[in-house]
Structure 1
Amino acid sequence: MPHDIAPVAFAVAGRVHEVGGVTMGTTWSVKLVADGEASLPPLERDIQRCLDGVDAQMSTWKVDSDLSRFNRAPAGSWNEMPADCFGVLAFALRVAEQSGGAYDPTAGALVDAWGFGPPRRHADAGFALPAPSQLAEARACTGWQRIEMDPRGRRALQPGGVRVDLSAVAKGFAVDKVAQLLSAGGVSNHLVEVGGELRGTGVRPDGLPWWVALEAPLPHRGGGAVAIDTMVALHGLSVATSGDYRRGFTHDGQHFCHTIDPRTGRPITHGLASVSVVHRDCMAADAQSTALTVMGLGEGLAHARRHRLAALFVQRTAGGFEEHLSDALAELL
Structure 2
Amino acid sequence: MHGVRARAAGSRRTATLALLLVIAGLAPGCASAPRARTVDTLTGEAMGTTWTVKLVSAADTPPRPALQAGIQAELDRIDAQMSTWREDSDLARFNAAPAGQWVSLPPEMFAVLTQALALARDTGGAYDPTVGPLVTLWGFGPGPKTRTTPAPAALAAARARVGWQRVTLDAAARRARQPGGVALDLSSIAPGYAVDQITRYLDRAGVHDFLVEHGGELRGRGNRPGGHGWRVGIEQPDSEDLIARVVVLADRASGSSGDYRKFYTLDGQRYSHHIDPRTGAPVTHALASVTVLADEGLQADSLAAALSILGPEQGLQYAREHHVAALFLVRAGTGFAQMMTPEFAAAQP
Same fold (TM over 0.5): yes
Following the alignment from structure 1 to structure 2, what is the Cα–Cα distance between the partners of residues 321 and 199? 26
Following the alignment from structure 1 to structure 2, what is the Cα–Cα distance between the partners of residues 332 and 162? 39
Match of residue 113 from structure 1: 137
* 8 Å CA contact 1:277, 1:309 repeated in 2: yes
* 8 Å CA contact 2:235, 2:243 repeated in 1: no
The one of 309, 321, 327 aligned to 2:324? 309
Report the 3-state secondary structure (helix = DSSP H, G, I; strand = E; otherwise coil) of the residue aligned with 1:296.
helix
**1:97 is matched by which residue type in structure 2?**
R
Q: 1:49-64 maps to which residues of 2 (within 5 A)?
A: 49-64=73-88
Report the 3-state secondary structure (helix = DSSP H, G, I; strand = E; otherwise coil) of the residue aligned with 2:188.
helix
The one of 177, 181, 205 aligned to 1:185? 205
Note if 1:86 corresponds to 2:110.
yes
Match of residue 257 from structure 2: 242
**2:53 is matched by which residue type in structure 1?**
V
* Offset from partner CA, 1:87-112 (integer Å, 9 cap, x none): 10000000111111111001000011
Following the alignment from structure 2 to structure 1, what is the Cα–Cα distance between the partners of residues 335 and 262? 20
CA separation of 1:201 and 1:219: change in aligned 2, threshold 3 A: closer
Following the alignment from structure 1 to structure 2, what is the Cα–Cα distance between the partners of residues 34 and 228? 29
**1:120 is matched by which residue type in structure 2?**
P
Deviation at 1:13, TM superposition (A): 4.6
Following the alignment from structure 1 to structure 2, what is the Cα–Cα distance between the partners of residues 190 and 330? 24
Match of residue 17 from structure 2: none
CA separation of 1:46 and 1:228: change in aligned 2, threshold 3 A: closer
Note if 1:22 corresponds to 2:22.
no
**1:275 is matched by which residue type in structure 2?**
V
Deviation at 1:38, TM superposition (A): 6.0
Match of residue 223 from structure 1: none
**2:287 is matched by which residue type in structure 1?**
L
Following the alignment from structure 2 to structure 1, what is the Cα–Cα distance between the partners of residues 239 and 229? 30
**1:16 is matched by which residue type in structure 2?**
V
Identify which range, 208-217 or 65-74, moves more after superposition. Answer: 208-217
Identify which range, 147-156 or 33-42, moves more after superposition. Answer: 33-42
* Offset from partner CA, 1:123-154 (integer Å, 9 cap, x none): xxxx5321111111111100111110000000
Note if 1:104 corresponds to 2:105.
no
Deviation at 1:227, TM superposition (A): 6.5
* 8 Å CA contact 2:234, 2:243 repeated in 1: no
Note if 1:142 corresponds to 2:165.
no
Match of residue 202 from structure 1: 222
Match of residue 98 from structure 2: 74
* 8 Å CA contact 2:131, 2:184 repeated in 1: yes
Following the alignment from structure 1 to structure 2, what is the Cα–Cα distance between the partners of residues 331 and 253? 40
* 8 Å CA contact 1:105, 1:166 repeated in 2: yes
CA separation of 1:232 and 1:284: change in aligned 2, threshold 3 A: same
Which portions of structure 1, spanning 4 or more consecutive aligned residues, are displaced by more than 6 angstroms?
none
**2:172 is matched by which residue type in structure 1?**
R
Deviation at 1:25, TM superposition (A): 1.5
Match of residue 7 from structure 1: none
Match of residue 27 from structure 2: none
* 8 Å CA contact 2:258, 2:290 repeated in 1: yes
Could you state the TM-score of these two structures normalised by the residue count of structure 2?
A: 0.87
Identify which range, 42-51 or 100-109, moves more after superposition. Answer: 42-51
Report the 3-state secondary structure (helix = DSSP H, G, I; strand = E; otherwise coil) of the residue aligned with 1:230.
strand
Following the alignment from structure 2 to structure 1, what is the Cα–Cα distance between the partners of residues 43 and 150? 38
Q: Which stretches in structure 2 are left out of the alignment for 5+ residues?
A: 1-29
**2:337 is matched by which residue type in structure 1?**
E
Following the alignment from structure 2 to structure 1, what is the Cα–Cα distance between the partners of residues 260 and 166? 31
Match of residue 274 from structure 2: 259
Following the alignment from structure 2 to structure 1, what is the Cα–Cα distance between the partners of residues 187 and 290? 16
Superposed CA RMSD in Å reads 1.7
Q: Which stretches in structure 1 are left out of the alignment for 5+ residues?
A: 1-10, 221-225
Following the alignment from structure 1 to structure 2, what is the Cα–Cα distance between the partners of residues 63 and 92? 22
Following the alignment from structure 2 to structure 1, what is the Cα–Cα distance between the partners of residues 252 and 113? 22
